[in-house]
Amino acid sequence: MTQMTVASARARHNAYLPVEAEIVEFVQESQTIFTLGLRLTDPALHAAYHYAPGQFNMLYLHGVGEVAISIVSDPEHEDLLTHTINRVGRVTRGFAQLQVGQRIGVRGPFGRGWPLREAEGQDVIILSGGLGCAPVISVINYIMRRRERFGHLTIVQKVKHVDEFIWPERYEKFKQVPDTTVLVASTEGSVNWRWDVSPRIKILEEVQVRSERTVAMMCGPEGMMQSATQYLTSLGMQESSVYLSLERNMQCAVGHCGHCQFGGQFICKDGPVFAYSEIKHLLGTRGI
């Protein structure tokens, strides 16, 4: 199906209505973080389901409600739709108790994802804080599978506690990939912690901007992203080449319910990924 027909099919379709999906995989990543691998139970819908890294789905837990979760699987190389979820709220606590074979509802994909076309041929810096690594892991995997299309890759992951760092074995593998720098730090260390221990985002100071042709993509607390952007632009990066994934209360996911407004932007529809230049006037302002 072409982009056009997908768009027009969606215009006719009721974007509020979920479809059924089966949990095919359930992976406990840490004490509170888990990954659901989903397959839409209608094979035709599953085959026709297209998405881009950085987009999200609304996942429905029967009788409890919906929650917006980013898609972490690779749209071209993975059959299952995977979502990595932190058990923090009413709906996600419910999802944490599900098992393989159980059914949930899915509607999506929604939003504007990462600028992967634009990043081709350029150096890429990927920065995340806390569970921000879930949205960006889709980009990291995407680039790793197509490594030759991109320049130098820098991956920065900052966590407060070592428990928040999931997928250590993946980061070990990323380190072995040529032309790739991996920087991981935790505010608090522990006995088996093999990466850096540093406060705030001091680890950023190790990031090098090697070329004017560099794109940065980041996800995490807004204060962290703001400091990181200021640092990267001080090294010569363009504000329009720094992309941030924002998060707000989302209920409808189609720009109608009003909860996710960030100034004039609807994060669910106009984002969640924005160029810094699009949002800098309000980023970091209390209550926006």
Partner 1 sequence: MQFLARQDFPKLLESLIIAGYQCIAPQIREGAIVYDKLQSVTQLPQGYRDNQRPAHYQLEKNEDVLYFGWAVGVQALKPLTFAPRESLWTAKRDANGKLTFIETHPEIPPTAVIGVRACDLAALHLQDQHFAYNSYSDTYYNARRRQLFLISVDCAFPASTCFCASTGDGPSAQTGFDIALTEFPEGFLVRSKSSRAEAILATLPLTEVSETQQQAALAQNQQAIEKQTRQLPSRNLKAAFFANLEHERWQDIATRCLACGNCTSVCPTCFCHSESAEPTLDGSSNTQYRQWDSCFTLGHSYMHSFVLRDNILLRYRQWLTHKLGSWHDQYGRSGCVGCGRCLTWCPVGIDITVEAQAICGESL
Which residues sit at the interface with partner 1, rule CB under 8 A? 10-11, 14-20, 41, 60, 62-66, 88-89, 92, 101-105, 247-249, 251-252, 254-259, 261, 263-266, 269, 281-282, 285-288
Helix (H, G, I), strand (E, B) or coil at 55: coil
Nearer to partner 1, 7 or 47 (CB): 7
Nearer to partner 1, 187 or 251 (CB): 251
Minimum distance of partner 1 from residue 288's CB (angstroms): 8
Minimum distance of partner 1 from residue 65's CB (angstroms): 4
Distance from first CA to last CA of the chain, Å, rounded? 38
Please give the angle made by the CA atoms of 242, 174 and 186, to the nearest 5 degrees: 70
134, amino acid identity = A
Minimum distance of partner 1 from residue 114's CB (angstroms): 19
Nearer to partner 1, 65 or 168 (CB): 65
Cα 161 from Cα 190, distance rounded (Å) = 9
Minimum distance of partner 1 from residue 238's CB (angstroms): 23
Least Cα distance to 152 among 225, 239, 215, 74 occurs for: 215
Minimum distance of partner 1 from residue 223's CB (angstroms): 13
> Is residue 38 packed enough to be buried (19+ CB in 10 Å), middle (13-18) or exposed (0-12)?
buried
Nearer to partner 1, 216 or 271 (CB): 271
Cα 33 from Cα 73, distance rounded (Å) = 16
Nearer to partner 1, 16 or 27 (CB): 16
